[in-house]
Structure 1
């Protein structure tokens, strides 16, 4: 059975607790990082935790993934998102991997700061996997042993400055501004029998109440097991690290058709990117000051509910 955990600030102290029906049962112990928490606690241990409860409304949310963990991402990993990006999911032969700066990680209800130099600010709801243990050598991860590698799941919003990311070819820079990585509110710890639900989670993102993204993890092209297998052969992973698994269709970004891309390739660089930016400027879907973005991920049966992530877009301070 899944166990939902909240990392929070209460009476000046950062704590962890099991949350249910708006009440938190504090978990004994001091855990300064997600790694420390994961290594000391499991869903099985916390399932029957008892003790004095506090109201969730009395605490301040913190990110359940701390800023000392790696923040790894997959790109173009939902079938419909690939199609709207001009890619064919049936012929794609590579898993797109990039990273975000861990300094962009913030709590789920943090304000989203739009940098002065950014014009096209986009949203990307994603399912985040929180790793269970260190992986420092090549491993074969399968659906059958995935529970040995994944401790739990969270909501991630991979906010992106498209005018930095794409024309400058700066994925890391365009996606790593401070506040561009809200995580949580809840870390849902999974038991072995819960792992199958990773293939049926419903993702929904709204802007000012209007649905922009809606899909199921059944649409993933590269699943958690094969992705962790690949990553294990590339670099070291650690307990508590975060893997964001990609976003569904419905982002503000619009990609030119393959025909237009081929035609633009013959143009001077400056003209090519002028046309791209003009195309983006015609998209009202990009975020503006005062917009409210809400993200939800849950299973159809309600046993997994990662809460509601809510971010108000604000201007960067002068």
Structure 2
């Protein structure tokens, strides 16, 4: 059985609670990180939690992934997104991994601040997976033991400054501006029997009420098990760390066709990127100040529902 947890601020105090039908049952204890919360609270324990409740409308959302955890991301990990990015999913044989600064993590209803120097601000709805335990050596993660490694799921929006990320070849810089990583609202804790449903979640993102992205996690190219296996051979991972698993097709970014990319490769660098930026200028999908972005992820049967992110694009203060 899944369990939905909210990290929230109430009467000046940061708390964690179980959410059901718009009411929060506070969880006893102080937890300064997502790792501390996960390590102290099993699903079995929280299922029998009782006591007075608080209306969710009376609290302020916080991110269920705290800024003292790692924020690891997969790029170009849905088949259709790879195709629209000029890649062949049947030929590309590597898992693209990068990180975002944890200072970009904000609550799910936070404004997204468009930096003054950024022209092409893009959205990327992603399924985020929160780790259940530390991984400090090479391990083999399989579909059968994945439940031992994944505590739960969250919504992530990997906002991206495309005019920084692509021409400067700066994934980290282009995706790490403050507010570029809203997480939540809910952390959906999973039991063993729930983990297979991670393959059948529907991701939907709208801008000003118009659907821009809509796909299922069935379209993932590199799944969580093989990705965690690969990462375990590279670096230490910790309980509470966040893995964002990639975004579906439908982003604002426009990539030239393979033929145009080959032709552009012969051009001087300055001219190549001038043409790239000119192509982006023709895309009305890029976010503007005042746009409203909503993202939601849920299973077909409704047993997993990660809530709705609501972000308004704001201009950077002078």
Instruction: Indicate the TM-score class for this superposition, using the shorter chain for normalisation.
Output: over 0.9
Corresponding residue number in structure 1 for 2:132: 132
Output the TM-score relative to the length of structure 1. 1.00
Contact persistence 1:133–1:238 (CA under 8 A):
yes
Assess if the C-alpha contact under 8 Å between 1:42 and 1:151 holds in 2: no
Residue 225 of structure 1 is matched in structure 2 by 225
- Deviation (angstroms), 1:220: 0.1
CA distance in 2, matches of 1:256, 1:45: 52
Partner of residue 178, structure 1: 178
1: CA distance between counterparts of 2:12 and 2:33? 17
Residue aligning to 1:214: 214
How big is the shift at 1:71? 0.2
Correspondence for 1:316: 316
Which residue does the alignment assign to 1:8? 8
- After TM superposition, the runs of 4+ consecutive aligned structure 1 residues lying more than 3 A away are none
In the other structure, the counterpart of 2:151 is 151
Partner of 1:168: 168
What secondary structure sits across from 1:204 in the alignment?
strand
Partner of 1:51: 51
SS at match of 1:202: strand
Offset at residue 253 of structure 1 (A): 0.1
TM-score normalised by L of structure 2: 1.00
Alpha-carbon RMSD: 0.4
User: Within the alignment, does 1:298 sit opposite 2:298 as a pair?
Assistant: yes
- Displacement, 1:278? 0.2
Between 128-137 and 45-54, report the one with greater CA deviation: 45-54
Quote the offset at 1:17 in angstroms. Answer: 0.2
Give the structure 2 partner of residue 279 of structure 1: 279
Specify the alignment match of 1:31 in structure 2: 31
**Rounded Cα–Cα distance in structure 1 between residues aligned with 2:50 and 2:147:** 25
**SS in structure 2 of the partner of residue 7 of structure 1:** strand
Deviation per CA, 1:149-173: give whole Å up to 9, x if none. 0000000000000000000000000
Unaligned runs of 5+ in 1: none
**CA deviation profile, 1:76-99 (whole Å, cap 9, x unmatched):** 000000010111111110000000
Where in structure 2 are there 5+ consecutive unaligned residues?
none
Shift of 1:48: 2.2
1:214-236 deviations in Å (ceiling 9; x for gaps): 00000000000000000000000
Q: Which SS does the other structure have where 2:92 is aligned? A: coil
Distance in 2 separating the partners of 1:280 and 1:48: 52
